[in-house]
A and B are shown apart, each in its own frame.
Chain A
Amino acid sequence: MNFKRNKKVVLILCALMIFSLLAGCGGNAAPDKAAGDTIKLGFLGAKTGSVANYGIPGEKGMKMAIDELNAGKGILGKKVEGIYEDNKGESSEIANITTKYITKDKVVALVGDPCTGLTKVAADIAQENKVVIFSAGATGADVVEIGDYVFRNTLLDTVAAPAVVDWMINKKGWKNLAVITSGNNGYSTALTPIFKQAIAEKGGQIVLEDTVNDGETDFTAQVTKLKNAKPDALVFTGYYTEAALIMNEAKKKNLDIVLVGGDGLYGQDLAKLGGEAVQEKVIFYAGFSTDQPSPETAKFLEAYRAKYQEEPDMFSAQFYDAIMILAQAMETAKSTDPSVFKNELANLKDYPGVSGVTTFGADREPIKSPVCLLTVKGDKFPALLEKIPVQAK
């Protein structure tokens, strides 16, 4: 072997690596100077990966809100700057990005993540560093319990799921239900017990319980089992991709069934992937609907359509609201210090947001009504099926 040549190659490789590291440092060190003049907000969400359908519209909503603020007076006369990193929906990635936002970019608040599990990872870090985190999508349990810097503005699963189960059993008469969970999806494994408890309380029967996995495409065995169990309806607690594939398989096996789920099904891809198979066959709940809008919502819809030439969804609305609520709290507190304006945030009452009216309760949990039942109908996604009012706890 030619030892000399090899040595050269090593040297070149080493040089390349050192160069790329240095280049990286240079690029990273550039901003940071004007820290005093702008208010920085960090975006938490996935722009790629399996939950990108939640993050991408969220980012658009957040950008729009910040542009509107800057077109006006900003916050307390200062310009607002959003920073948008892609956390790919991975927990180690979101931990890295959250630390970077707090220690390097010096953000005053974090907005996101749409997923409960990821929000918890970021919330631990934010609470430790005394930075406000405002989730625009976490619907699961044990989020605001992490600490007094943690907020969210969503329709909670513990409120919505029982209302939907009540609607299924008492209004539609679907008593015998099958429940399918996505076993490697934290959102789904947390939502299933809520549904199961509600079904037991409202007098329904679970005839089949089964599991699928995110990222798989073969659901033939589960659908065959489903067909033999003959339930009135199927409750699926996972995300939109798997829901569409289950419905595709059901159609192929001549199984006519309605799939009901949480706002994890709220993704454009549900309609794109499911095609015929999901038409009026998939029902899910969410805290936002573009049908029958309030004046605030109507204004938002118009501005969003003009800006992006597409329909906003729940996540764009919730991210938009999150920014506006944060701005209002900072204005009333006359401070951008998280430890000061978080108290104003906790006192929020009857805020007329584009995603509904929000009040924070004594436990800092949001109180939102009504629950919107959505479905896929024709080209429109999502289409409003019904609004169910719920009582605050």
Chain B
Amino acid sequence: MDAFIAQYIDAYYLRIMIFIGINIIMALGLNLITGVTGQLSMGHAGFMSLGAYTAAIISLHYDAPFFLAILAGAAMAASFGFIIGIPTLRLDGDDLAMVTIGFAEIIRVFFLNFEPGGKAVGLSGIPQYTDFATVWLIVIVVIILNAKLLYSRVGRSLFAIRENEIAAQSCGINTTRMKILAFTVGSFLGGLGGGLYAHYMYYINPQDFGFMKSIEILNMVVLGGMGSIPGTVLGAVILTLAPEMLRIVAEYRLLFYGGMLVILMIFRPNGLLGDVRIYDLKKRWGKKR
């Protein structure tokens, strides 16, 4: 499949498109936690690294099939997501943000001292199983499942928690279960993205999954539009392409990036496509025609 695509697309662009796919998967996971349910998580890179390391170690040491490896990585991240979901019962907003930052930092330090993970040297020689077709197939499946989830009763309950937790509770929503569910599914997707990333890069290193990586994923969600699937996809596309396109102005690109975030928040506090859902789009553009 990839050989076929490679005849028409330059390998460099193919690579960027694979990264876009991986970022979409991870950003959709965070969107579920932060965008939809409103639980500010600033440690998504922690889930990503859990998925990446678990999948890579399984591939390297046990010679497991690719799908098993990335699923194991995602499951590992999901189980940690479940554990992190529990404090959300007691903490809100900024304390939760601190706990997630702390969690991601602890994971990073753990991998820096983790012998089977190569410590600070990182893991190298991971087989490159991830290819264009696999990534985008997973992206499509994730988008469809995600959309189904958001339009279901569960999805509406999650939105309700974001808007007003107490009101949601008094409407009979089991907020505890819902919040833990959002965390578990969200971190599963983070871990899935991490596993794909590891199997594309040949090499992973604990420093790749630092605080700035978490912020990068959070920016995708917020820039595109909190709680919106098309928005999150758009955010992931823009923020993956931007650094590549801005390579000419290399040194100034972070300056531009920071400034853009501020300006965007002032004019579009809910992101480019804040709360736009696929069916809203259909309704809006359909009427005009």
Question: Which stretch of B119-127, B142-150, B164-172 is in the interface?
Answer: B119-127
**A-B pairs with lowest CB-CB distance, top 8:** A24-B245, A103-B11, A186-B121, A124-B202, A189-B120, A103-B12, A121-B203, A9-B267
Q: Mark B185-209, 1 if CB is under 8 A from A, else 0.
A: 0000000000000000111111110
B207 and A184 contacting across the interface, CB-CB below 8 Å: yes
A124 and B124 contacting across the interface, CB-CB below 8 Å: yes
Known: A99-B11, A99-B12, A183-B113. A9 touches B268 (CB 8 A): yes
CA distance A48 to B244 in the complex (A): 17
Q: Which B residues lie within 8 Å of A117 (CB)? A: 121-122, 205
CA distance A27 to B249 in the complex (A): 11
Given contacts A9-B267, A28-B245, 6 further A-B pairs with CB under 8 A are A6-B267, A21-B245, A95-B201, A102-B11, A184-B112, A186-B121
- Please tell me the number of chain B residues within 8 Å of chain A, measured between CB atoms: 35
Residues of A105-126 contacting chain B, CB below 8 A: 117, 120-121, 124-125
| 12 A-B residue pairs with CB within 8 Å | A20-B246, A24-B245, A25-B245, A91-B208, A103-B12, A117-B122, A125-B202, A146-B125, A184-B112, A185-B120, A186-B121, A186-B122
Judge if B64 is at the interface, Cβ distance under 8 Å: no
A10 and B272 contacting across the interface, CB-CB below 8 Å: yes
Counting chain A CB atoms within 10 Å of each CB, the highest count among B10, B121, B242, B251 belongs to: B121
B246 and A91 contacting across the interface, CB-CB below 8 Å: no
Judge if A169 is at the interface, Cβ distance under 8 Å: no
Counting chain B CB atoms within 10 Å of each CB, the highest count among A85, A125, A186 belongs to: A186
Residues of B115-133 contacting chain A, CB below 8 A: 119-122, 124-125, 128
Q: Mark B201-221, 1 if CB is under 8 A from A, else 0.
A: 111111110000000000000
A121 and B202 contacting across the interface, CB-CB below 8 Å: yes
B121 and A189 contacting across the interface, CB-CB below 8 Å: yes
A124 and B10 contacting across the interface, CB-CB below 8 Å: no
B202 and A24 contacting across the interface, CB-CB below 8 Å: no
A95 and B10 contacting across the interface, CB-CB below 8 Å: no
Known: A13-B268, A13-B272. A186 touches B120 (CB 8 A): yes
CA distance A268 to B77 in the complex (A): 43
- Which residue of chain B lies nearest to A213 when distances are taken between CB atoms in the complex? B112
CA distance A128 to B201 in the complex (A): 12
Residues of A149-192 contacting chain B, CB below 8 A: 182-186, 188-190
CA distance A184 to B109 in the complex (A): 8
Judge if B262 is at the interface, Cβ distance under 8 Å: no
CA distance A142 to B11 in the complex (A): 27
Q: Which A residues lie within 8 Å of B204 (CB)? A: 91
Known: A99-B12, A104-B12. A17 touches B201 (CB 8 A): no
Known: A86-B250, A92-B201, A99-B11. A13 touches B267 (CB 8 A): yes
A120 and B203 contacting across the interface, CB-CB below 8 Å: yes
CA distance A27 to B248 in the complex (A): 8
Judge if A100 is at the interface, Cβ distance under 8 Å: yes
Known: A48-B251, A104-B12. A21 touches B205 (CB 8 A): no
B15 and A91 contacting across the interface, CB-CB below 8 Å: no
State the Cβ distance, A3 to closest chain B Cβ, in Å. Answer: 12
